[in-house]
Amino acid sequence: MRRRWRWTAIAGAALAALAGSFIFAMNPLWHNDARLDALQQRIVAYPLPPETELFDSEESFGRLGHDIVGYCDYRVRLTLYTGLSEDKIRAYYGNAKIAGLDDDIPIYLWFQDSPYPGWRPFIIEVVDSHLKNGDWRCT
């Protein structure tokens, strides 16, 4: 009977250590995923210009497109369709203030030709960065 109790205690301690290690390792990932979700929500919540519709939303996280070690990047990209001119869209988003992790972050715009008369696709992209906090996706 004592042996069974001893093995049960050892197995319980091992499982507790494993669970603690998992939570310790995953905490930075969960924290950064929450930051990315919050940034995406702020971008989507920003009012669209008139005659503009959201088509697609994409978000990504990690060390994106640079060789700077020790930083993590958050990127949110929206694809929109509009009936407005490129100049009007640039003027609308030129004054936009989107809160980043520390400061307001710039909005980047890309325009494309459209196969649909009267509608033009364009892309809004925001990128924010912070120091690496133990998330393996930033290595």
Q: Give mean pLDDT in consecutive 10-residue pieces for the chain, a chain of 139 residues.
A: 72 76 71 82 89 88 65 86 93 86 84 83 87 66
Task: Show the 3-state SS of the chain.
Answer: CHHHHHHHHHHHHHHHHHHHHHHHHHHHHHHHHHHHHHHHHHHHHCCCCCCEEEEEEEEEEECCCCCCCCEEEEEEEEEEEECCCHHHHHHHHHCCCEECCCCEECCEEEECCCCCCCCEEEEEEEEEEEECCCCHHHC
How much is the pLDDT for 111? 92
Count of other CB atoms within 10 angstroms of residue 46: 15
pTM over the 0.85 mark: no
Answer yes or no: are the C-beta atoms of 87 and 47 closer than 8 Å: no
